[in-house]
């Protein structure tokens, strides 16, 4: 029967199905497929299970197709070329991605642009939630900065501590629709969920006073059902927001620069010394912010670098496959003699 994953730790998941909540582990065949690249189920996934009579457990046999997935780059160790770089799926089958930023030391427009790029690439509708509005003396300015970076994306200032703006946030969360909270540690994601739930279910902790950095209070991903019937996924804070997919994901988060690029004389304009460059003209006129342009170029280079690494990895894998084929052919000819 189908079931939805509401909590997961590698090959062991908590799922909800027609029989209620069950503890489920992947089958041996699924585990083999997961290690070969399929990956283990994540929170939000729909899976096919076989319940075990009498013990409240089940076996996961298959992963159903995902309608969306919020992913980031996950690297083991360093960013050296020999280190395997892989995709980490943070949440699956989400309708909206709520990017939570705190209006204190955490506030960073450049980091927001990264989150927006991941959100647009996920297939979910992004929304920016500015938390700790009660602690911000320059709230209108911060909202304006955010709106300039998050073009076409709803921006909402709230205070999980006082409850200000929570009713408006609740109205965005529709019954039977799934939203995922993403953001750094200490931005108040767990406090937001507690406020939306009306009960202190998630553990919370204050940020450090010396540097304003957050502590990891959420150690695992979990899907909760709000009183309204909306579904919400809490995620551990992200220390790094590594991009994963392609340069096309920048179109959503930098739609203003992409629109300018289409007005350049040359379709392959690099916005350097080419004549009639609309992007460079906007920079000179001051209609395009210099820092925003630099952030766009930085993310472009990062994605291009990642694409190059993937191409190299694919060529190396193809070379290994070819060596294996040649070895088999040589052995076959030898046996024939």
pLDDT digits (tens, 9 = 90+) for 34-85: 888 788 999 999 999 999 988 889 999 999 999 999 887 764 444 433 334 4
Q: Do the Cβ atoms of 325 and 318 come closer than 8 Å?
A: no
Look at residue 74 and tell me if it is in a domain: no
Read off the CATH number of the domain in which 307 is found.
Answer: 1.10.40.50
Can you tell me which residue has the tokens 């020999």?
A: 82
* Number of domains within the chain: 3
User: What's the rounded Cα separation, in Å, for the pair 122 and 108?
Assistant: 21
**Within-domain flag for 212:** yes
Looking at the structure, do residues 173 and 120 belong to the same domain, yes or no? yes
Domain-located, residue 207: yes
Q: Which of 30, 40, 58 is nearest to 221 (CA)?
A: 40
Do 124 and 253 have their domain in common? Answer: no
Q: Is residue 143 part of a domain?
A: yes
Whole domain around residue 118: which residue ranges? 89-234
Site of tokens 């290994």: 320
- Please tell me whether residues 225 and 118 are part of one structural domain: yes
Do 59 and 133 lie in one domain? The reply is: no
More confident residue, 84 or 234: 234
pLDDT at 169: 96
What CATH number does the domain containing 102 carry? 3.40.50.300
* DSSP bridge pairs for 294: none
Per-residue pLDDT tens digits for 84-124: 446 788 899 999 999 999 998 778 999 999 899 888 888 99
Same domain, 144 and 206: yes
Q: Is 271 left (phi over 0), alpha (psi -120 to 50) or beta?
A: left
β-pairing, 178-182 vs 231-234, is parallel
Assess whether 11 and 129 both reside in one domain: no
In a domain, 75, yes or no: no
Q: Per the domain annotation, does 241 fall within a domain?
A: no
So what's the pLDDT on residue 139?
95
**pLDDT reading at 221 higher than 80:** yes
């Amino acid at each position: 029967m189908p079931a939805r994953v509401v909590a997961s730790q590698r090959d062991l998941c908590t799922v909800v199905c027609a029989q209620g909540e069950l503890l489920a582990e992947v089958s041996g065949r699924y585990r083999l497929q997961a290690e070969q690249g399929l990956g283990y189920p994540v929170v939000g996934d729909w899976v096919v299970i076989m319940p075990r009579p009498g013990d409240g457990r089940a076996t996961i046999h298959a992963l159903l197709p995902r309608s969306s997935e919020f992913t980031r780059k996950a690297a083991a160790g360093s960013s050296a070329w020999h280190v395997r770089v892989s995709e980490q799926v943070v949440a699956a089958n989400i309708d909206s991605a709520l990017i939570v930023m705190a209006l204190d030391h955490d506030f960073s427009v450049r980091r927001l642009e990264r989150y927006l790029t991941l959100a647009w690439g996920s297939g979910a509708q992004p929304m920016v939630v500015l938390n700790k509005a009660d602690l911000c003396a320059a709230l209108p300015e911060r909202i304006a900065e955010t709106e300039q970076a998050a073009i076409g994306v709803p921006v909402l200032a709230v205070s999980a501590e006082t409850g200000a703006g929570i009713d408006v946030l609740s109205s965005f969360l529709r019954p039977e629709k799934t939203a995922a909270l993403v953001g750094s540690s200490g931005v108040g994601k767990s406090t937001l969920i507690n406020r939306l739930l009306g009960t202190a279910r998630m553990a919370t902790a204050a940020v450090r006073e010396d540097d304003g950095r957050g502590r990891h209070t959420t150690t695992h991903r979990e899907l909760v059902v709000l009183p309204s019937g909306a579904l919400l996924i809490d995620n551990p804070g992200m220390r790094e927001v590594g991009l994963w997919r392609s340069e096309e994901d920048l179109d959503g988060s930098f739609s203003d620069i992409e629109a300018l690029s289409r007005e350049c004389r040359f379709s392959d304009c690099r916005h350097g010394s080419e004549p009639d460059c609309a992007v460079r003209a906007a920079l000179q006129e001051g209609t395009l912010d210099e820092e925003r342009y630099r952030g766009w170029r930085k993310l472009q280079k990062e994605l291009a670098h990642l694409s190059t690494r993937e191409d190299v990895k694919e060529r190396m894998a193809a070379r290994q496959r070819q060596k294996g084929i040649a070895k088999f052919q040589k052995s076959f000819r030898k046996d024939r003699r």
